[in-house]
Amino acid sequence: MTAFARRARASAGRMHPELSLVSYTLLGHLEESGGCRATDLAAHYALDKSTVSRQVAALERARLIERRVDPDDHRVQVLHLTAAGRRILAQVTESRRTAFRERLAGWPREDLERFAAYLVRYNAWSPESAGDEAEGR
């Protein structure tokens, strides 16, 4: 897992020198969610609010995200991707897909299917599901 994380961090820098793995992840979440508060990002990724705040500030300076007032609660600011943020996210996503395709090109179909199933299982894990697995559910 450590090697996997190191490769992911290194490849993020190669794909876009100004976009760290954390930044890429935050941009992806903002795209998927249609925008959210910085506190929501911190809670979702179990990151310290100050860490998210620094990342958000850097993304704002790079004009990849912007703050908008929540129409339902004018006291709340929601983070959204800018057009430039969408473009860079799309470029990096395509570069990552190409890298994965190249890396997995020689794998037999059965191995790819098994690997995909393991990734789905790994990503679905939560503390609640761990209790279910321990009890044989």
Q: What is the CB neighbour count within 10 angstroms for residue 81? A: 20
Asked whether residue 125 carries a pLDDT value surpassing 90, the answer given is no
In which band, very low, low, confident or very high, does the pLDDT at 11 lie, cut at 50, 70 and 90? Answer: low
The per-residue b/e assignment along 113-136, b for 16 or more CB within 10 angstroms, e otherwise, is eeeeeeeeeeeeeeeeeeeeeeee
Asked whether residue 15 carries a pLDDT value surpassing 60, the answer given is no
Asked whether residue 103 carries a pLDDT value surpassing 80, the answer given is yes
Which pair of tokens denotes residue 94?
Answer: 């395509």
Asked whether residue 114 carries a pLDDT value surpassing 90, the answer given is yes
What pLDDT was estimated at residue 14? 59
Written as one letter, the residue type at 1 is M
What pLDDT was estimated at residue 2? 72
What pLDDT was estimated at residue 91? 87
Which pair of tokens denotes residue 4?
Answer: 């996997």
CA distance 35 to 71: 13
Written as one letter, the residue type at 26 is L
Total residues belonging to the chain: 137
Asked whether residue 128 carries a pLDDT value surpassing 90, the answer given is no
